[in-house]
Amino acid sequence: MQVNPFKDLGLIDPLVRAVSEQDYLEPTRIQREAIPKVLAGDDLLATAQTGTGKTAAFALPVLQLLNSRPGRRNTPARADRRTPVRRRPKPIRKREGGDIRALVLAPTRELALQVSDSFQTYGQHLPIRTTVVYGGVPLRPQIKSLRQCPDVLVATPGRLLDLMGQRHVQLDRIEILILDEADRMLDMGFIRDVRKIVATIPRSRQTLFLSATLPAEIAVLASDLLNDPAYIAVTPAATVGGKIEQKVLFVEQGDKFSLLTSVLKNSGMQRTLVFTRTKHRADLLTRQLAKQGFLADSIHSNKNQHDRQRALHAFDRGRIEVLVATDIVARGIDVEGISHVVNFDLPNDPESYVHRIGRTARAGAGGVALSFCDFQEVAMLKEIEKLTRSTLVMVEDHPFHAASIGSLCRGTPASRSSNSRRRLRRRGGRRRAL
């Protein structure tokens, strides 16, 4: 009888059974390297892009460690917590049978929900409870779930601080701390909140630190939190999956929407994710696509959690064919079968390009990334190509090709005038950009 490869990593039968039911046939590289180290009790510093299987890499061993330990149900608080002493401390709400033993901090609501779902899926055959808290929704249901004494808490920093301030959460029994997408927390301004939370957690803990990149401030945070960690670098920073076809279409800003509708009519675009630079542009683009008969919706930080989840669910189920998004929610979009990613606007930060196009070609599938580049975005394109060490393939056979912009960027002859420029002159001026 063939042994499941996950069992060879030291995982117990209930976890092996759970991953088998999810049709996980072979561990990914980060899973092979991280799971034994976490099971051994080591701190971990891992750099890995989304889509590499990193959630299972920490969730599976954490579930096993919690299952194998009796927990710290009645032990006194540790002296090294260094919490400030108050003259008249506010009464702490009574524990109702247990403590939170593992805390996962995630930067966005979407990612927090995904991580929580993963813990529940992998731990379905174990007596381990998981709950999730995040902002943008009422507090009362989350307070009720916390009173059920979860072993694992997945949280966004802001909402967790709110609950801590109201004395609904105690973290003095945390055994394992996981920071997921730490660099994204830096981008979103959460590092100070993270430090406040960590200051209330016992120092005698196991810490797992995962980040797609390691900028200087994140490296400092990691050195402060980790104790002689095992280091795993699954993919170098800003590495793009080999199965993603990267193409650039040079176009005048005023022709971008017409170009988008033109490419969307391509029968090969089964499920398309479109990125814009601003929330206003995302909503405007969605309305314009709807007027053209496309099933589209938008997702960004101004939308409440219900609307964001509804849009993601509809996109995942195929009820909408185009989802328009901004960078702030890019890493929280985990939908299978995205055939194309379209950068309607190139991102200001070249690393965001990597995270955007990483939404396609997941789980071994292939995908296409199309980037629309106007005159003002040429410098952004060059920064993206410098960071990824790859040159995007120029597509000229489309009706809005701006040869002059392509020449500026690629150094190719621009003897023939741009189709879009001729068309604009016939119209007597530039169309207002989206």
Share of the chain above pLDDT 70, in %: 83
Q: To the nearest whole number, what is the mean pLDDT of the chain?
A: 84
Top-confidence range, 172-181, 263-272, 330-339: 172-181
CATH architecture of 7-73+94-233: 3-Layer(aba) Sandwich (3.40)
d(C-alpha 243, C-alpha 383), whole Å: 21
| Domain 244-427: CATH architecture, name and number where available | 3-Layer(aba) Sandwich (3.40)
Q: Specify the pLDDT at position 305.
A: 66
Q: In this predicted structure, which of 48-57, 227-236, 389-398, 406-415 has the lowest mean pLDDT?
A: 406-415
- Residue 78 scores a pLDDT above 60: no
Across 91-95, 119-123, 133-137, 217-221, least confident range: 91-95
| Alpha-carbon gap, residue 349 to 125, rounded angstroms | 42
Q: Rounded to an integer, what distance in angstroms lies between the CA atom of residue 111 and that of residue 105?
A: 10
Between residues 114 and 213, the one the model is more confident about: 114
**pLDDT of 331:** 64
pLDDT of residue 389: 86
Please tell me the predicted confidence (pLDDT) of residue 64: 97
The DSSP element (H or E) to which 410 belongs, if any, is: helix 403-410
More confident position, 40 or 83 = 40
CA distance 400 to 431: 13
Residues of the chain with CATH 3.40.50.300: 7-73+94-233, 244-427
pLDDT (average), residues 54-71: 92
- Mean pLDDT confidence for 283-299: 94
Tens of pLDDT, residues 388-407 = 888 999 999 999 999 999 88
The residues with which 178 forms a beta bridge, in sequence order, are 104, 208
Q: Per DSSP, what are the bridge partners of residue 359?
A: none
